[in-house]
Amino acid sequence: MLLVKANINNKEKYLLNEVVMNRTIYRLAIIILLAGHSFLLSGCSEAKSDEKVVEEIVTIPVRAERATVGTIDATYGTTASLEAAAEATVAARVSGIVTAVFVEEGDYVEAGQPLAQLDIEKLELELKRATANLSQISNDLQRNNKVYKKKLISSESYDRVKFQYDAQKAATDLAKLNLEYATIRAPISGVVAMRYIKQGNLLGQNDAAFHITDLSEIHGVLHIPESEKAELVVGQVAYVAVEAARLPFKGEIQRISPVIDKDSGTIRVTVSLRDESAVLRPGMFSRVSVIYDTHQKAILVPIDSVVSEDDEVAVFVVKDGIAYKQIVSIGFSNANHVEILSGIEANDMVITRGQRNLRNETNVELITAVANL
């Protein structure tokens, strides 16, 4: 009896295990089916999303402008230092104590205007002595002249007195000139840029007293490479820009040095400027553009519309909502425009924003304002 019961229990356990296994397989099958279905639905959704993205990037928003006809200049750009057309260091012509200073730095002075005064006491005494000696020798010359006419003295004696008179006359004139030099005067009209003396200073002959700068005409001094010399000639228009002014100043090439600096290999070019606003100052740093050629009736496009790739220069032209890549030849250019020699016509609509991502025959949409293209 015990043996039979054990056999029955073993059979029930076997059947129970088989039922549990079947249920497990069934559940796994359902999970796999559900997962497969989910994968298919996800694949379909991603495919639809991809199709939607493709549809969205087919038409690219761009900004465009028409090619125009105008004038464009060829320019040579460089930097320049500014100098005054005329300036002078005023030095003392005679030595002496400074008794008065009449001007200060920044004052405008006219040519010949007194700037300072030196002590004149000694110079006045020298003039008196020279004048007295001249008077005495003049009387001697008159007496010798009368005697010489009567042939009572030799010509050598007369010539000796005449020489003494001429020498003393020159000494007297020099004494007068030194007395005049005691008043230091402006050699040119301009602004007192520097004052080197003070009242009471002992000033030696040729010592600097003032520096005067004429600001009515300023020069820009360029140093250009020898290779650029052929492009520049006297009279060409130049524009000079400085940080202190919003607009550039117009000038022209006044001089071109005939020699080349052996150290730098450059040529000195002087540009004359008229500054009615009195903004320009000697020593200022400036940027200069010299116009050496001009093209009239040129086809012009915005500089942003030109793209360069693989040694080719091109623009994208919009026709009927499609962007066509056109290989072009370019001429002169400036900060805003490029001259097109061939490849497009005037009034063609060229893309100025968004063209970096374009290919030939791409569908585009023209809009008036584009952000972050």
Domain with residue 312: its CATH number is: 2.40.420.20
200 is a domain residue: yes
DSSP 54-103: HHHHSSEEEEEEE-EEEEEEEEEEEEEEEEEEEEEEEE-SS-EEEEEE--
Q: Residue 351 corresponds to which tokens in the numbers above?
A: 């893309």
- Do 152 and 68 share a structural domain? no
**Per the confidence metrics, is the pTM higher than 0.75?**
no
- Do 233 and 198 share a structural domain? no
Closest CA to 321 of 364, 287, 272: 364
Three-class secondary structure of residue 121 per DSSP: helix
**Who has greater pLDDT, 41 or 359?**
359
- Do 97 and 41 share a structural domain? no
- Do 196 and 98 share a structural domain? yes
Residue 208 near residue 91 (C-beta atoms within 8 A): yes
Last-in-domain residue among 209, 238, 267: 209
Chain-centre distance for alpha carbon 373: 32
The answer to which of 42-51, 134-143, 185-194, 300-309 has the lowest mean pLDDT is 42-51
Using CA atoms, how far apart are residues 188 and 112, in angstroms rounded to an integer?
Answer: 7
Residue 147 near residue 173 (C-beta atoms within 8 A): no
Mean pLDDT, the chain, integer: 84
287 is a domain residue: yes
371 is a domain residue: no
What average pLDDT does the segment 70-84 reach? 91
372 is a domain residue: no
- Do 162 and 113 share a structural domain? yes
- pLDDT the model gives residue 228: 82
- pLDDT the model gives residue 57: 53
For residue 247, the enclosing domain spans 77-82+215-294
249 is a domain residue: yes
Last-in-domain residue among 239, 273, 294: 294
* Amino acid of residue 149: K
pLDDT bin (cut points 50, 70, 90) of residue 87 is very high
Residue 330 has pLDDT above 80, yes or no: yes
Q: Do strands 337-342 and 307-309 pair parallel, antiparallel, or not at all (unpaired)?
A: unpaired
Residue 232 near residue 76 (C-beta atoms within 8 A): yes
- Do 200 and 104 share a structural domain? yes
Residue 113's domain is classified under what CATH number? 1.10.287.470
The answer to which of 27-31, 147-151, 347-351 has the lowest mean pLDDT is 27-31
Using left for φ > 0, alpha for ψ between -120 and 50, and beta otherwise, residue 82 falls in beta
- pLDDT the model gives residue 31: 52
Using CA atoms, how far apart are residues 158 and 143, in angstroms rounded to an integer?
Answer: 10
Question: Which pLDDT tens digit goes with each residue over 9-21?
Answer: 444 444 344 444 4
What average pLDDT does the segment 29-36 reach? 49
- Do 149 and 189 share a structural domain? yes
- Do 269 and 225 share a structural domain? yes
Last-in-domain residue among 245, 265, 294: 294
pLDDT bin (cut points 50, 70, 90) of residue 355 is confident
Give 139-143 contacts, CB < 8 A, sequence gap 24+.
140/164, 140/165, 141/165
54 is a domain residue: no
Give 196-199 contacts, CB < 8 A, sequence gap 24+.
197/98, 197/101, 197/116, 198/98, 198/101, 199/98, 199/99, 199/100, 199/101
**Who has greater pLDDT, 312 or 197?**
197
220 is a domain residue: yes
pLDDT bin (cut points 50, 70, 90) of residue 307 is very high
92 is a domain residue: yes
- Do 24 and 34 share a structural domain? yes
Using CA atoms, how far apart are residues 87 and 111, in angstroms rounded to an integer?
Answer: 12
How many structural domains compose the chain?
A: 4
- Do 97 and 34 share a structural domain? no
Question: Which pLDDT tens digit goes with each residue over 158-192?
Answer: 889 999 999 999 999 999 999 999 999 999 999 99
* % of the chain surpassing 70 pLDDT: 83
* % of the chain surpassing 90 pLDDT: 57
Residue 3 has pLDDT above 70, yes or no: no
- Do 139 and 163 share a structural domain? yes
